[in-house]
Structure 1
């Protein structure tokens, strides 16, 4: 009891009587788990031959973080919840609970990731659905949407339908009638908030892979890298001159010199500035290089997609590049490469059609092209 008193978990009422702090058991359990996590981090950091004296447990109130993945492990086998150990650019190692295994794809060894807590909040599209239903007798559909807002594209309205479908699959009270319209309850925004809270429990952290492989490779990569995007539009992340942060600073310096040598950046007043269009040029260089390699293997000509072009064919597979991911779309005589979208994963091996726009591609799936548009 004296030990608990020093931890401010009990109060001494004298004469052998004590008052336990509310939630004492949960607090002790949490402290035990934290101790286990710290010991795990120290063991794995040592195993990775890293000298990191500071450890952090990444939580809902944490700032966005960029770092290199040290390992991925199982945090709770009964609920299939996983974690990452991340060597951050802030010079610290971080334990990051990432939720259910299926919500985060497999990560390459030494992948550099950007992490941000998932904040459960009602989205603008939820409010739009509620507004349209309020003036449409409690109904929502793409037709109702375009009547309410004639400037809205069908693809934009379909994104709201996908949101409703996801909420329905999650077991929320969102009903769809045979005519394709949706019955929207007066408490729709409360349902949307519950849905977001469920998603946050399943996946408490957004994990984005920003680089694969070593930083040394990025320093001279002939493609639009994460380092280039940081130079073009700094995210404001704090890169400490210690640990992995020091490695990133070194790679950034080497990358700047490479860009200057390639005449893609200029040095003015002691700082390096990318030339206009440098990112697009780097991405196109890599695109053409990948296309040339594929053309030799496939025995087909590459057709470069331009704004306004009709993209049609069979989605063959996903192509990984330094600049990002591309979808390989094959036709009988030629093929093209277009920006990858996660929604294309389920379309591999199928016929697709879409229009190349400045902001992306409006996809229409299915051989009959009668499916929804995905923008």
Structure 2
């Protein structure tokens, strides 16, 4: 090893871009016991050169044919490439790339490849031929090509996510920057993950109720939420404590619309059916699926005696959401009481809820927490602030809307 001390490391292979790559975390300790500090230059260039040498020793040198094939693939690439970097190095101080043959210089074996690449850049408006064998690249060529490359990666990411879920959507309905839209983005979560491993930013692909498929950039994985593919999510926009605009995904239902159709509890579909301003549905894509699911859910509720047809519409029973919610919670409470031997109790508005937070349940009616006081248990609406208290004693005050104002130690958190 060129660094001498022994290094601890862990690596992970990534195939989330056009170029498969490896991420390494390296830690070393000097002979005096202090942490090994590696210079930026060695991290930037030295490690790459050393890795190249080791790979060459193991696999042998790259053949001229392999190198040429790699460069040939870059001629038509709509992204910043090593061929572009070489052209940038070839340019003079005045910005001229001189590929004209000269009697006193050796012929450039890659001249045809460079000319082919410049022709491609010319078609993109990123290079101009200014004379016989002489070219000039645009000042914004690198930035534009990197943007095009990112755009291509996003399109492939959306397509891959949809394909893995067996969903067919046309590329014409892709929205590549869903986070910048003024309109609400609500739909089915298709995929999410890290967007930039170095910066820690994240992304999500949402099959929108508006009939379009949205790629959304997020500040980090925490803001991607904890929904699973198939769940119903909404992109929320808000100002943080410093007044900065933030975005985050909020889970509106852990159940897919297919599971909601016959569900016992109060579903997202039910809330849409009775909402004064329901989510606007597109004519195709997920919007069409939601419209069909709403019809099937209505038929199910009619069979349950909770709705009836009136003309061309459907009339739902009063207190539909509360009725369905209570049915689901009663069924779960009965099951848990049978398992634990303790009764389900309920807190009225203004009463205290106290006990140990035991479990979280993802129901059709939402997320609920089991609070066990040793004599019985309660099922109360779950909130993100509660999750850190799993296995601990918590207490709070029941609100009129069914939520709980939690108190953790001396702090008091609002259960949203």
* TM-score where L is the length of structure 1: 0.69
Is the 1:13–1:19 contact (alpha carbons within 8 Å) kept by the matching residues of 2?
Answer: no
User: Relative to 1, partners in 2 of residues 1:73 and 1:269: Cα closer, same or farther, differing over 3 Å?
Assistant: same
1:313 equivalent to 2:355? Answer yes
Q: Which consecutive aligned stretches of 4+ in structure 1 deviate over 4 angstroms post-superposition? A: 1-21
1:104 equivalent to 2:104? Answer no
Is the 2:254–2:362 contact (alpha carbons within 8 Å) kept by the matching residues of 1?
Answer: no
State the distance in 2 between where 1:40 and 1:352 align. 42
Match of 1:331 among 368, 373, 378: 373
Which aligned pairs between 1:224-235 and structure 2 lie closer than 5 A? Answer: 224-235=266-277
1:183-210 CA distance string (max 9 Å, x none): xxxxxxxxx22xx25xx3xxxx321222
The aligned counterpart of 1:260 is 302
1:362 equivalent to 2:401? Answer no
The aligned counterpart of 2:321 is 279
The aligned counterpart of 2:142 is 25
1:56 equivalent to 2:99? Answer no
Is the 1:232–1:273 contact (alpha carbons within 8 Å) kept by the matching residues of 2?
Answer: no
Gaps of 5+ in 1: 123-162, 164-191
1:233-284 CA distance string (max 9 Å, x none): 1544332232322221111101112222323234334222333211111111
The aligned counterpart of 2:209 is 89
* Aligned-residue CA RMSD (Å): 2.8
The aligned counterpart of 1:79 is 199
Query: By how many angstroms is 1:60 displaced?
Result: 1.7
The aligned counterpart of 1:372 is 411
User: Relative to 1, partners in 2 of residues 1:235 and 1:98: Cα closer, same or farther, differing over 3 Å?
Assistant: farther
* TM-score where L is the length of structure 2: 0.63
Match of 1:65 among 185, 194, 205: 185
Is the 2:192–2:203 contact (alpha carbons within 8 Å) kept by the matching residues of 1?
Answer: yes
Gaps of 5+ in 2: 1-117
Query: By how many angstroms is 1:114 displaced?
Result: 1.9
Matched residue count = 292
1:117-153 CA distance string (max 9 Å, x none): x35x47xxxxxxxxxxxxxxxxxxxxxxxxxxxxxxx
Which aligned pairs between 1:84-233 and structure 2 lie closer than 5 A? Answer: 84-116=204-236, 118-119=237-238, 121=239, 192-193=242-243, 196-197=244-245, 200=246, 205-233=247-275
The aligned counterpart of 1:158 is none
Task: Pick the structure with greater CA Rg.
Answer: 2
State the distance in 2 between where 1:63 and 1:297 align. 46
